[in-house]
A and B are shown apart, each in its own frame.
Chain A
Amino acid sequence: MNRTSTLYHDRRHRRWNERSRTFISAILALILLASIGIGSWLLGSSGLSVQLENRNLAPSFLHLFGTDWLGRDMLSRTVKGLWLSIRVGLLGAACSVIIAAAMGLMAATLGQTADRIISWLIDVFLSVPHLVMLILIAFVCGGGLKGIAIGIMLTHWPSLARIIRAEALQLMSTDYVLVARKLGSSRFTIAMRHLAPHLLPQLLVGLLVLFPHAVLHEAAITFLGLGMSPHQPAIGIILSESMRYLSTGMWWLAVFPGLGLLLTVRAFDKLGNHLRQLVDPRHTHL
């Protein structure tokens, strides 16, 4: 690093270093997550019921986010929708990470043929736009939450798998792994005992970067109507329904759920990026 960039870096971040910023964003993201989770639990299902006498109300103290054309409280719907998206996103991202870890380790330890096959698979998956793939898988699985979750699991692993594979291959040529191989440790033992612990930080970063991505995709799929029943609160469904009423001036139908989605995604994206900087400053792309 040369002098000027260090100076620039210092001036911009003189107050907090990377660690404290990561810590702060982690706290903020956790607070957001907890408030959505607890809010969803506290609000119950009463706000989701139809109240025809309270239709199309603009935001007020009684209904902070307003109500929709059936008198359903938009705050309840937004929070429930976000919570649903978060759960699906978390499940999808976690499973993606597991698949990516398995693939990466297999490519590194099972020899050249396995490596070629897995690399080819990664290339194939990366060459197809993954939203298209996701729609296809969700459709084949019969839609619903299950379809979306499986779709996200099966489409988000390749980029992370590639990184894991590269790291693992690097580790394979380190002395301690070479010694372990010479001593006759099995491939499985090497993968689990000698490689996996070193890859954990990468996997954690992968999870945090994939998670907001998965949430966005859940919203996209439900927006397109491939998800569940159109009256269930999912953030994509809420947004697509609001399109119809935007021209009638009911801006609150889209603004609050949209902001909520944006905030959630941004918070975790930020956290993921900070953590990546911290764990592995050399890699800037995932």
Chain B
Amino acid sequence: MGKRFVGIIYAALILIIAAGCSTTKPDISTTKSDSLIVAIGSEPDTGFDPTKGWGRYGSPLFQSTLLKRDDDLKIEGDLATSYEVSEDGKTWTVKLRSDVTFSDGERLTSEDVKFTFDTSASNGSAIDLTNLASVSAGPDEVVFQLKEPQSTFIYYLITTGIVPKHAYSATYAEQPIGSGPFTFVQWDRGQQLIVEANETYYGSKPSFKKLTFLFLNEDAAFAAAKAGSVDVAYIPSAFSKQQVAGMRLEAVKSVDNRGIAFPYVSTGGQTDKGYPIGNDVTADKAIRLAINTVIDREKLVEGVLEGHGSPAYTANDGLPWWNEDTKFPDHDAKAAATILQAGGWSDSDKDGVVEKDGLKAEFTLLYPAGDVTRQSLALAASEMVKEAGIQINVEGKSWDELETLMHANAVMLGWGSHDPLEMYNLYSSDFGGVDYYNTGYYSNPAVDEWFEKALNARTEEEAIGFWTKAQWDGQTGLSAKGDAPWAWLVNIDHLYLVKDGLDIGKQRIQPHGHGWPVTDNIASWSWK
């Protein structure tokens, strides 16, 4: 009797639990509401202040910029109606629209522009405005006086959102006011950002009244997409094979690249902080060239990125300042062997690893421990170079440890920007050992000279000519055809799960930017 009673109670319990489960099933609705929930990126730590770096990736949302890029990456006016550069390249005159107001009703004037750039220059952290001598504000006109001519100054006009002088305070980053397509509603640190459409926006108004940005990690974002609770989710390639009901996968081309930065100099040096510089093996050009030649980039794209990517030859593939001559046939073990032999490397003790004067072609490749893609790339690449007789030992480290080791060991890093200044930062001898830029202390006077010319150019077109020359000028260059201080491996397509019926417009080649670049054209998103 007792047993049967217990059995009945169990059955009842299971029924209740099962019923409970079915009622909590998410409600996947396909109604076209005027609000969107997106899980696309990591949270900006420093808040939403453009003078501290907000808006470098993607749209600044709340603020608007003087200039902007269209979908083909051509530069066009936003707050500015036109701009002019003087003959000597030192004076930039920007004419402003006169009909723009901030979301609090105040008019946006040239004083605000001056204030924004002055503040950015004095913050000095995220935006390098050391070349800016002065800013003067006239009626609907701003004049930037530079110390030296700098063609890349235009990128600050594209990326720096204008902040209001009258409403700028210490807490601005947490409660931004601006003239952009959206106004700030609420920011719950670590959780979400809520914005509303700006009713007084001067451009074409966004078709969504309200946007919620959830700050989820990649796994959680994918889970949220599967549960139907977000409209757009940024996902890693590991999840790309799975179908999600009611959503489609959009793969956006990018210059978000990954590559191996080699120490370019021999051992012996030390940084100011006492970290070692240089590596005798990677300082040998034959080794760097052989690695570049033997690696099968297509296979990396297929195997590690599930096909969602493209082979990378430079840090700026596909951008207007890319030199297409830098492409070369890879996955060529024979060519690599020839290069090594010509460089004096041979496998005299038959252990599968080549030597030169008693030095084994063996070095350590570091990757940030938390990054699965970089880990996979590092492991796969180290396997591929074995074919050329080069031994790469792979080690995962935290970013803190990487900073102490990255000048003396090869590192798996990632870059990619809509600004050729990045190329300058990565390869110029002035940036040797600065931040994560030129970790290997690369330096080539010829390349530095091209950089100098590019920076001094008056127009972007003129500068682009010099930027491409810096990569390869027929004699030398920073690409793998020249000195090969890097072995670029892949450009990673950015993958977004987008709800069926939602049109996210024509996506541009996206820069490195943790999901945010998709917001570049967020004002033009709509339901189909």
The interface of chain A, by Cβ under 8 A from chain B, is: 49-53, 55, 69-71, 225, 228-231, 241, 244-245, 247-248
Contacts and interface: CB of A to CB of B under 8 A. Distances in A.
Secondary structure call for the A interface: loop
Contact of A231 (B219, B370, B379): B379
Interface string B242-264: 10000000000000000000000
B395 A229 contact: yes
A244 B218 CA distance: 10
Contacts of A241: 372
A49 B394 CA distance: 12
Contacts of A229: 369, 394-397
B383 interface: yes
Indicate the size class of the contact surface on chain B. 20 to 34
Contacts of A245: 238
B238 A230 contact: no
B375 A52 contact: no
For A50, A51, A53, the residue with the greatest tally of chain B CB atoms inside 10 Å of its CB is A50
Contacts of A53: 303
A110 B297 CA distance: 69
Interface in B363-383: 369-370, 372, 375-376, 378-380, 382-383
B303 A231 contact: no
A244 B238 contact: yes
B380 A70 contact: yes
B227 to A, nearest CB: 12
B383 A50 contact: yes
Given A52-B303, A55-B303, A69 B376 contact: yes
Contacts of B219: 244
A70 B242 CA distance: 18
Given A52-B302, A69-B238, A247-B242, A231 B396 contact: yes
Given A231-B375, A248-B238, A248-B239, A50 B396 contact: no
B370 to A, nearest CB: 8
B3 interface: no
For A53, A228, A244, A245, the residue with the greatest tally of chain B CB atoms inside 10 Å of its CB is A244
A70 B396 contact: no
A230 B375 contact: yes
22 contacts: A52-B299, A52-B303, A53-B303, A69-B238, A69-B376, A70-B376, A70-B380, A71-B303, A225-B370, A228-B396, A229-B369, A230-B369, A230-B372, A230-B375, A231-B375, A231-B379, A231-B394, A231-B396, A244-B219, A247-B239, A248-B238, A248-B242
A225 B369 contact: yes
For A52, A245, A247, the residue with the greatest tally of chain B CB atoms inside 10 Å of its CB is A52
B220 to A, nearest CB: 12
B380 A52 contact: yes
Contacts of B300: 52
Contacts of B242: 247-248
Nearest to B397: A229
Contacts of B382: 50
Nearest to A232: B396
A230 B239 CA distance: 20
Nearest to B240: A248
B395 A52 contact: no
A51 B304 CA distance: 11
Contacts of B394: 229, 231
Contacts of A248: 238-239, 241-242
Nearest to B379: A50
Contacts of A230: 369-370, 372, 375, 396
A259 B183 CA distance: 54
Contacts of A247: 239, 242
A249 to B, nearest CB: 9
A245 B379 CA distance: 18
A225 to B, nearest CB: 7
B372 A244 contact: yes
